[in-house]
Amino acid sequence: MKNRYLAIVPARGGSKRLPRKNILDLYGKPLIAYSIEAGLKSKYIDKVAVSSDDDKILEISKKYGAEAIKRPDELASDTATTFDTIKHAIDNFEEYDYIVLLQPTSPLRNEKHINEAIEFLEEKKADAVISICEMEHSPLWSNTLPEDRKMDSFLRDEVINKRSQDLEKYYRLNGAIYICKTDKLLENKSFFLKDNIFAYIMNKESSIDIDEEIDFEMVKLLMIHK
C-alpha cells in the first residue's frame, strides 16, 4: 500500500532580517511559490499546505495550488516552535503517513530532490530523513575566542599543518527537506528522532537558505547562471 505524504510549508508574515521575504519577487514569482511548486510536482506528495498568519501569503499560496491554513496569532510569535506550527497543520487534515516540511526559503530545492529523499526514506524503511549538505569550511578550523582574542589553543595540533582536502568531511543541515512518519513526529515533537533516521545529501548550490539579502542575491545569480 502506497504511503501518503503531506507537505507543509510554514511561512510567517514577519521577517526581521529580510522583510516580507516569503513573498519577495524572484524572477516573476514570489519566493514561496518555488516550494509550493516543488511539492506539487513531486510524484509522491499527495497534498501541499501552507501555514501562515498572513492573509497575503495565504492568498498567494492558494493561487499557486496549495491548501491554505490560517495560523493563530499565538503560533506566529517568536516563541512559537516549528513543531507547534506543524501540529496545528496536521490537525487540519485527514491522516497522512508522513509529513514533509518544506521551508519556503529554499527555492533551489526542487521536486527531484524531494523525490530522491522520499525514495531514500522508503528504501531504508526509515522513520525520518533530513536533508544536509557538505560544509563550506571545516569546523576543525573554528573555535571560540576569549575576550583578549588569544589564539594559543585555537586549533588542535593535528589540524595545524593539514590541507583542507585532507580533513574529514563535515556536513550541516541545509533546511530544505524534513520528512518524518506522522506518529513518530507527534510522539517525539521533533523531526530529529533518536533512531531509524537518515541523511539525504544535497549539493551546496541547491542548499542555499534565504535568510538575508545577500542570500537572495546569490540565488538570483545562480538562476542567471543556470
Residue 14 has pLDDT above 80, yes or no: no
Under 8 Å CB-to-CB from 106, ≥6 apart: which residues?
A: 35, 174, 175, 176, 207, 208, 209, 210
At 38, the pLDDT band (50, 70, 90 cuts) reads: very high
Question: What is the reported pLDDT for 210?
Answer: 95
Residue-wise pLDDT for 173-195, tens only, equals: 999 999 999 999 999 999 999 99
Average pLDDT over residues 135-140: 92
Average pLDDT over residues 190-201: 98
Provide the residue ranges of all domains of the chain, joining segments of one domain with +: 5-134+171-225
CATH class of residue range 5-134+171-225: alpha beta
Residue 16 has pLDDT above 80, yes or no: no
Residue 60 C-alpha cell reads as: 498567494
Average pLDDT over residues 126-155: 96
Question: What is the reported pLDDT for 194?
Answer: 97
Query: Model-level pTM?
Result: 0.94
What value does the mean pLDDT of the chain take?
Answer: 94
HEC sequence for 68-123: EEECCHHHCCCCCCHHHHHHHHHCCCCCCCEEEECCCCCCCCCHHHHHHHHHHHHH
Question: What is the reported pLDDT for 80?
Answer: 81
For the chain, percent of residues with pLDDT exceeding 90: 85
Residue-wise pLDDT for 75-104, tens only, equals: 877 778 889 999 999 999 999 999 999 999
